[in-house]
């Protein structure tokens, strides 16, 4: 990770004095690699051509797991692969005091699985154990509490499937043809 950070900051400094497309692209690629390395260090397995932009991944001393497919865009999303709330009500889940020490409480944990070709909009929350299928769009601000099947669009709190991906694509083709300047 140090090497990635070093390269990124060197490129940023060079950009202060020189500006061209090649340098700009190299800096962007380095930044993306640095960002993905951070998420991998937090327990994420990430497929090719996937972007995570300003996301939060839950972490615990026992390690949360996130499996994210290829060709995904996940923006401003919170992925919660554990739930520590039962420790307040089940004394068997308290290992020792004080509670702020790592490992002092047991948490329910279940990995999150996200398929290929998935877009998850800004402000979404995905809860432990959820599986999101392939070719899925999750609308901004949704709370995903249950599995979302392949080829669907889901929105809301809790998120519900509102249409299939073909209807979604058709609506955007229509908008693109009617208002190309908006794209």
Provide the annotated active-site residues. 82
Look up tokens 């809790």; give the residue: 158
Query: How many degrees, rounded to 5, is the angle at CA 6 between CA 2 and CA 7?
Result: 120
Look up tokens 């995570």; give the residue: 52
Give the Cα separation of 48 and 16 in Å (integer): 30
Structure-token pair, residue 126: 């995905």
Question: What is the phi-psi region of residue 129: left when phi exceeds 0, alpha when psi lies from -120 to 50, beta otherwise?
Answer: left
Look up tokens 């709190």; give the residue: 157
Give the Cα separation of 87 and 106 in Å (integer): 7
Give the Cα separation of 8 and 131 in Å (integer): 34
* 57, 44 contact by CB (below 8 A): yes
Task: Give me the sign of the Cα torsion angle 81, 84, 85, 89.
Answer: positive
């Amino acid at each position: 990770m140090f090497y990635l950070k070093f390269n990124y900051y060197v490129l940023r400094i060079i950009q202060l004095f020189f500006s061209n497309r090649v340098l700009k692209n190299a800096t962007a690629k380095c930044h993306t690699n640095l960002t993905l390395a951070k998420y991998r260090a937090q327990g994420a397995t990430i497929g090719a051509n996937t972007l995570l932009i300003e996301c939060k991944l839950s972490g615990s001393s026992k390690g949360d797991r996130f499996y994210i497919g290829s060709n995904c865009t996940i923006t401003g999303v919170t992925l919660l692969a554990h739930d520590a709330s039962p420790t307040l009500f089940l004394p068997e889940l308290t290992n020792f005091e004080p509670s702020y020490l790592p490992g002092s409480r047991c948490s329910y944990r279940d990995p999150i699985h996200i398929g290929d070709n998935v877009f998850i909009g800004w402000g979404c929350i995905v809860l432990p154990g959820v599986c999101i299928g392939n070719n899925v769009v999750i609308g901004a601000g949704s709370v995903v509490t249950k599995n979302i099947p392949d080829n669907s669009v889901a929105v809301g709190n809790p998120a519900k499937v509102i249409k299939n991906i073909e209807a979604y694509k058709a609506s955007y083709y229509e908008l693109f043809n009617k208002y190309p300047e908006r794209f």
